[in-house]
Amino acid sequence: MKGQKNIKKSHPDKILEAGIREVAFGMGVTVVQPVNMYGCQIDDQAFIGPFVEIQKNVRIGKRTRVQSHAFICELVTIGDDCFVGHGVMFINDTFSGGGPAGGDSSLWKKTDIGNNVSIGSNATILPVTIADNVVIGAGAVVTKNIEEAGVYAGNPAQKIKDI
């Protein structure tokens, strides 16, 4: 193709396979593959949809549902009876040093999601604490702690309704 650089054909030096490694599962958990899960805890009767990544030091509470294409990075705790919609992204690196933390996990921050929280599709959750009984609208960007029950939407997410 015109303007395209010549690409040397070769094989990657390292290929890592997605899979389930070192996961502590509760009773009655459902996982729909393919998924990439490692070093995390999935409590009783949770549901994990396909194309989900759950990294180490994550805890998913009892009866919580994580829908397809969600990304749950390290240092996230999600309570019981929650719903994580399709394509929800959790972020633990706020670029506090002016750029990506890279391998310096000391710069990563944690996220705590309460019980009975529903997070709509394609929402982005920065390192925050979210109280119990909260609904996050689809596409919302949560940049600050949510300390009271209600419905939150927008970028940045703001309370739009009491529950």
Q: What is the pTM of this model?
A: 0.91
CATH number of domain containing 73: 2.160.10.10
Question: 51-69: per-residue pLDDT in tens?
Answer: 999 999 999 999 999 999 9
79 belongs to a structural domain? yes
5 belongs to a structural domain? no
3 belongs to a structural domain? no
Closest CA to 114 of 160, 152, 70: 152
Question: Residue 146 carries which DSSP code?
Answer: B
104 belongs to a structural domain? no
10 belongs to a structural domain? no
70 belongs to a structural domain? yes
Question: 3-38: per-residue pLDDT in tens?
Answer: 566 767 788 889 888 899 999 999 999 999 999 999
With H, G, I as helix, E, B as strand and everything else as coil, classify residue 95: coil
With H, G, I as helix, E, B as strand and everything else as coil, classify residue 150: strand
4 belongs to a structural domain? no
Say how many domains are in the chain: 1
CA atoms within 13 A on the CB side of 126: 14
Range of the domain at 75: 20-93+109-161
